[in-house]
Amino acid sequence: MQIHIKRGKESSIERGHPWIFSGAIFKIEGNPKNGDVVDVMGSNGAFLARGHYQQGTISVRVLTRNENESIDQNFWNERLRLAVELRKKLGLFRPGNSICRLVHGEGDMLPGLIIDWFNGVAVIQCHSLGMYNSLEAIKNAVIHNLGESVKAIYQKSAETLANDSGAKNGYLYGSCETPHIAEEYGHQFSIDWINGQKTGFFIDQRENRRLLAQYAHGKTILNAFCYSGGFSVTALKANAAHVDSLDSSAKAIVLTEENIKLNKLEKNHSSITADAMQHIKELDKNYDIIVLDPPAFAKHRDARHKAVQGYKRLNAHAMRYIKPGGILFTFSCSQVVDKALFNNTIIAAAMESGRQVRILEQLHQPADHPINAFHPEGEYLKGLVVEVL
């Protein structure tokens, strides 16, 4: 089965972009179904790539540009080998660390596939039907590369695929009771991939949590949008004077309190169940540090303007109430809000707050969330550490 590209539309594919958009397609041969492997041919008939087909804006997710490379078990074994090797280079399988992102989609040359690793349990999310159809080979590749260290493999794709995909969550290999304890830089976290958001834990803030520890000693901290309390645990372990964990979700607060208790940090911690935007507008207490790690305010370009206004209001409120000399850790995980736009939004918030602000650190996703050099869209997490004078 072949996808033929319009003349003049080959350039992005030739430059290495892993997506082929429907508007670039001239004709389709062979009647491929969603999830099928197809060959992509240039307007001159030459082979360009091979990947998973799916009807929609992104019509093909590229798996290989090598015409002689079959999408067989050897392919999956080799891609997972490269992914595991990188995480070992990063020291993410050493004592004290048993949490990492094992496969990060396009960044690991496997577009549409996410695998997170929690102390022997691999949790898979498929964002394309092609990946979902390949689960057996992916499972085999995980076991082939990680051997006896694999206790269980759980796939959780019902939430990430279309309702008509028939995707069901469940174990592909072994089983494991949840919540399951895993470690990040020696901090213990209770992970529940079955009932928790996404794969159960937000791994992408690992290095930013570690950075917070450098600022936290003796400080009073507000961790807004705390989810499972990752920033709170790290700050308290670094001898913060007190941490308030804030989230609108009662479930998130329960997760946070479980993790605080697991690390024996209850003494200097309080939980607040409230709407973060409203709560920060009415702060009656000055904090030394405020962490703002909201969920994505925009998942599509048509919501970008509204998202930017939301980020501006949220950060302006925090800047108004933080102590003079206070530190703000602020983030956006909205892919459609790029780094420049986010930075400009924080500057606009500073102007609105009437406070002097200087940027101390520019933050991003960690190295186990690699960005394909030919797919800049993969850089989704942006953050700043700013001092508010």
Gap between the Cα atoms of 197 and 333, Å rounded: 15
Q: What is the CA radius of gyration of the chain?
A: 22
Count of other CB atoms within 10 angstroms of residue 224: 25
Amino acid at 155: Q
| Of 100, 126, 226, 333, catalytic | 333
Q: Residue 235 to residues 6, 214, 303, 344: CA-CA distances in angstroms?
A: 54, 9, 33, 28
Query: Known catalytic residue: 333?
Result: yes
User: How far is CA 234 from each of CA 6, 209, 259, 325, 328, rounded to the nearest angstrom?
Assistant: 52, 6, 11, 21, 16
Strand partners of residue 25: 5
C-alpha torsion sign, points 273, 275, 277, 278: negative
Residue 374: which region, alpha, beta or left (left: phi > 0; alpha: psi -120 to 50)? Answer: alpha
Catalytic residues: 333
